[in-house]
Chains A and B, each alone.
Chain A
Amino acid sequence: MHSGELISAYLDGELSRAEELELVVHLEGCVACRMDLADVQSARSAVRSLPILDAPGWLWPADAARRQVVRKRPAAVMAAATAALLVMVIGLATWLAPSPVLEMEYADIAVTHGARVVQDGTPTSGGLAEMATLIRGVGAE
């Protein structure tokens, strides 16, 4: 009787002590089982010598977390851009707001150059638009 499946289990250290003794005794007298052992051992070694591969880094939690940060990055950029735009708008609005000094300058310029200050359409918010109006008025005289 050949030992068959006991051979692989023997190589893997999965036999009980009694089974192992039984197999060793059998192998001493059985050429076929010794050949079987050599074949199985060869296949076992071939699979065990296959390289252990590295998985893609993005599978691991740390990298996955980084990927989430990367994915969130556009949102952060949008928030920063919004904040910057807000600052610009506030700055621009402050700059564009009519000031007593500017109003006085209009009057001075009109008096000095005899220009007619013309404002087109609805009242402007002042600043750049009013300056453009003023310059146009100066050119008209």
Chain B
Amino acid sequence: MPDVPLTWEEVARSYGRKIYNFAYRLTANTDDAADLTQEVLLRVKRGLASYEPGSFEGWLWRITRNAFLDEVRRRQRRPTVPLPDRDDRFHPGSTPSPDEVLAAIRLDENTQNALLKLPYEFREAVVMCDVIGLSYEEIAAACGVPVGTVRSRIHRGRRQLRELIG
């Protein structure tokens, strides 16, 4: 992980997709996810000039988290649950049957719906860990909480998810 990001373009290329997926898994809405990603990239662009080398991941995800919470406060609306845009799990060349595709989409929908029902702090921690792949320490830095709290949120989030998924 870079301590000093080189340029905004590199940050956008390296992290944009992750930011988008983070936003999408929290909202289940492609438009909201795109808007949020754009907002985060704008904030990154403005913030890079004053960025002081340290935990870049923590800095970036703190910006992402703040942008998300600001947007939620601004809109105060319920997220919708569209189908996933695309399923990358099917490799080119493999030809899953329509039933397999539908089953996978239903599973994804179940999981996504369950995520949306989690308390925000749990959902955020689970998504940062299991979708984005951040370490507990990075999540703690992004959320401004101790690592022990992250550990607790992830575990409780997963247990609730398991009950919700069934």
Contacts and interface: CB of A to CB of B under 8 A. Distances in A.
Pairing of A with B: yes
Q: Which of A40, A47, A54 has the most CB of B within 10 A?
A: A47
A19 to B, nearest CB: 10
Contacts of A12: 129, 136, 154
Nearest to A13: B135
B162 A43 contact: yes
Given A40-B162, A59-B37, A51 B86 contact: yes
Given A7-B155, A59-B41, A53 B21 contact: yes
A31 interface: no
Interface string B85-97: 1111100000000
Interface in B1-23: 8-9, 12-13, 16-17, 19-21
A8 B149 CA distance: 13
A2 to B, nearest CB: 12
Interface residues of B, number: 47
Contacts of B127: 47
Contact of A14 (B41, B136, B158): B136
B124 to A, nearest CB: 12
Given A50-B111, A60-B16, A8 B161 contact: no
SS of B interface (majority)? helix
B24 A44 contact: no
B70 interface: no
Interface string A25-53: 00000000000100110111011111111
Contact of B152 (A5, A43, A55): A5
Chain A interface size, under 10 / 10 to 19 / 20 to 34 / 35 or more: 20 to 34
Contacts of B48: none
Nearest to A39: B162
Q: Which of A7, A60, A61 has the most CB of B within 10 A?
A: A61
A81 to B, nearest CB: 33
Q: Which of B19, B37, B88, B130 has the most CB of A within 10 A?
A: B130
Interface string B55-68: 00000000000000
21 contacts: A4-B155, A8-B151, A12-B136, A39-B158, A40-B158, A42-B165, A43-B159, A44-B130, A46-B110, A46-B111, A47-B111, A47-B131, A48-B130, A53-B84, A53-B88, A54-B17, A55-B33, A59-B38, A61-B8, A61-B12, A61-B13
Interface of B: 8-9, 12-13, 16-17, 19-21, 24-25, 30, 33-34, 37-38, 41, 84-89, 107-108, 110-112, 114-115, 126-127, 129-131, 135-136, 151-152, 154-156, 158-159, 161-162, 165
Interface of A: 4-5, 7-9, 12, 14, 36, 39-40, 42-44, 46-56, 59-62
